[in-house]
Amino acid sequence: MRLDPLQALFEDLAGIRGALQNEQLEQAHALLVRHDRTVRDFMHSAEGRQAGYDALAHLLREQLEVQAIMTRARDDAARQMQAARQADRAARAYLAQAGG
């Protein structure tokens, strides 16, 4: 059974959200690329032109929520990378002092 195109977009967002929650960032990226293409196709289709304001506003809210989750995931990853770099520098400094 084929989903309504708008419903399929909401399903895409649910898939992206699930991938992010499971820290499957590559899968989330692939789903996001597909979702972007599908949204563009939908907006240029007859169904997209006929979609009501409320439905499109709901889709936008869901997209913004997923975007916020992605931003938090990116920021968390950046903090973890910074902490790893600091730990590496500290270990190297300790080894340099201990060896010298």
From first to last of the 100 residues of the chain, give the pLDDT tens digit.
667 999 999 999 999 999 999 989 899 999 999 999 999 999 999 999 999 999 999 999 999 999 999 999 899 999 999 999 999 999 999 999 987 5
Distances (CA, A) of 16 to 1, 24, 78, 82: 22, 9, 20, 26
Q: Tell me which residue of 44, 19, 41, 14 sits closest to 30, measured CA to CA.
A: 19
Amino acid at 44: H
Start-to-end C-alpha separation, the chain: 70
- Per-residue pLDDT tens digits for 1-29: 667 999 999 999 999 999 999 989 899 99
Would you call 62 exposed, middle or buried from its count of C-beta atoms within 10 A (0-12, 13-18, 19+)? middle
Structural domain of 89? 5-99
